[in-house]
Amino acid sequence: MYTLNEVKNFCLYCKKCRLHKTRTKLVFGEGNGNADIMFVGEGPGFYEDKSGRPFVGAAGKLLTKMLNAININREEIYITNIVKCRPPNNRNPLEDESKACLEYLRWQVKIIKPKIIVCLGAVSARNIIDKDFTISKNRGKWIKKGDFFVIATYHPAALLRDESRKRAAWDDLKSIRSKAKELNIF
Ligand code: URA
Ligand code: SF4
């Protein structure tokens, strides 16, 4: 068994995929190392790559607001991404990159032991839930997987592009809040 810091160190020196060559800072993840809820995005964007922190750009600001709307502070939960290094020009991570990096997410889950995992967007859901996952069809449904419940919802960047998705996203947030209550998290 490793600690989160040890796994972060593996990532700092990781050359398992091409993304290490173009990133500025590693974005390992942040928050409560004992969190009951974990949010998993896709990969670092421009501001994340500059700061080394997940979800700090426009999508991140919206994520923080969405969390606050269901009375969750960022510090209580753990936030990370499928890939820990920024894909050039914010392209989607390629399949081999996600696969290579998934080992680190597995360690994060093993160490933190969340009761709930929330996938933000299709890249996250395809890597964690099912390779054929589509957000429009399958979002908002709870799945028991090993020791945790997992659900996928819109990526906040997708909500910024299309406001009409906000209603469904709000339903998902309320569902996350109820599941957390049901599991005695709050
Ligand atoms: N989008 C993501 O998927 N992750 C981040 O950390 C920021 C934007
Ligand atoms: Fe390693 Fe992940 Fe970075 Fe690829 S994205 S180099 S697998 S830490």
Assign 3-class secondary structure to the chain.
CCCHHHHHHHHHCCCCCHHHHCCCCCCCCEECCCCCEEEEECCCCHHHHHHCCCCCCHHHHHHHHHHHHCCCCHHHCEEEECCCCCCHHHCCCCHHHHHHHHHHHHHHHHHHCCCEEEEECHHHHHHHCCCCCCHHHHCCCCEEECCEEEEEECCHHHHHHCHHHHHHHHHHHHHHHHHHHHCCCC
**53 belongs to a structural domain:** yes
**169 belongs to a structural domain:** yes
Residue 102: CATH number of its domain = 3.40.470.10
**123 belongs to a structural domain:** yes
pLDDT value at position 155? 98
Residue of 81, 91, 101, 160 to test ligand 1 pocket, by largest number of atoms within 8 Å of CB: 81
**186 belongs to a structural domain:** no
**Is the pLDDT reported for residue 186 higher than 90?**
no
- Atom of ligand 2 lying closest to residue 103 CA: 7
Q: Against a cut of 0.75, is the pTM above it?
A: yes
Q: In this predicted model, what pLDDT tens digit does every residue of 14-54 receive, in sequence order?
A: 999 999 999 999 999 999 999 999 999 999 999 999 999 99
